[in-house]
């Protein structure tokens, strides 16, 4: 379970744009990390959990409307009811700028994959599942060592 990753992909749409130039608010990244954390908890203990909060959040590169994002998360430490996790947000593709090349007729659909992923954010967070709600791992990749001791 510790270190096993959950990966979620999404394209930033017009509704995600918050600032001039289609810049996406960093809160959208936090929203997607919440979904990644929920999936981690379902896989490890069969419950959607409570997200207690972030210990650290760092935005490292801008995200814009049209960017293709990859959100990852994994468990770093397990307590009896708490899980300390790490999260990353990577830009893996983007819409092409109209000035990049002659795109006559495809101005609104031209996109490209990033040759190298761009780290746009990273964070540490804590999640909680009450003992009564812990059902044990629902995904064989997420072995639950501390449950075997009970």
Reported as a single tens digit per residue, the pLDDT across 111-136 is 677 789 999 999 999 999 998 998 87
pLDDT, one tens digit per residue, over 46-58 is 888 999 999 999 9
The answer to whether 95 touches 111, Cβ cutoff 8 Å, is yes
pLDDT, one tens digit per residue, over 34-88 is 999 999 999 988 888 999 999 999 999 999 998 999 999 999 999 999 999 999 9
Residue 6 DSSP label: E
Given this model, what pLDDT does residue 75 score?
95
- Which residue segments constitute the domains of the chain, with CATH numbers given? 5-147 (3.10.129.10)
Cβ-based neighbours of 3, under 8 Å, separated by 6 or more: 74, 75, 76
CA 61 to chain CA centroid, nearest Å? 15
Given this model, what pLDDT does residue 90 score?
97
The answer to whether 30 touches 18, Cβ cutoff 8 Å, is no
The answer to whether 5 touches 75, Cβ cutoff 8 Å, is no
The answer to whether 130 touches 144, Cβ cutoff 8 Å, is no
How far apart, in whole angstroms, are the C-alpha atoms of residue 81 and residue 60? 31
C-alpha distances in Å from residue 37, one per residue of 15, 24, 30, 93: 23, 21, 10, 23
pTM assigned to the model: 0.82
- Alpha-helix residue ranges (DSSP H) falling in the chain: 26-45
The answer to whether 90 touches 36, Cβ cutoff 8 Å, is no
Structure tokens, 15: 């509704």
């Amino acid at each position: 379970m510790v270190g096993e990753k959950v990966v979620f992909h999404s394209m930033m749409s017009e509704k995600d744009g918050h600032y001039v130039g289609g810049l996406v608010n960093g809160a959208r990244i936090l929203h997607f990390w919440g979904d990644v954390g929920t999936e981690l908890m379902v896989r490890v203990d069969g419950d959607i959990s409570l997200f207690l909060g972030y210990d650290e959040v760092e935005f490292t590169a801008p995200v814009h409307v049209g960017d293709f994002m990859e959100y990852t998360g994994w468990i770093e430490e397990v307590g009896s009811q708490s899980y300390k996790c790490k999260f990353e947000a990577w830009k893996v593709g983007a819409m092409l700028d109209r000035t990049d090349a002659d795109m006559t007729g495809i101005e609104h659909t031209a996109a490209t994959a990033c040759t190298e992923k761009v780290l746009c954010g990273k964070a540490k967070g804590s999640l909680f599942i009450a003992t009564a709600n812990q059902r044990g791992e629902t995904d064989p990749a997420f072995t639950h060592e501390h449950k075997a001791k009970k």
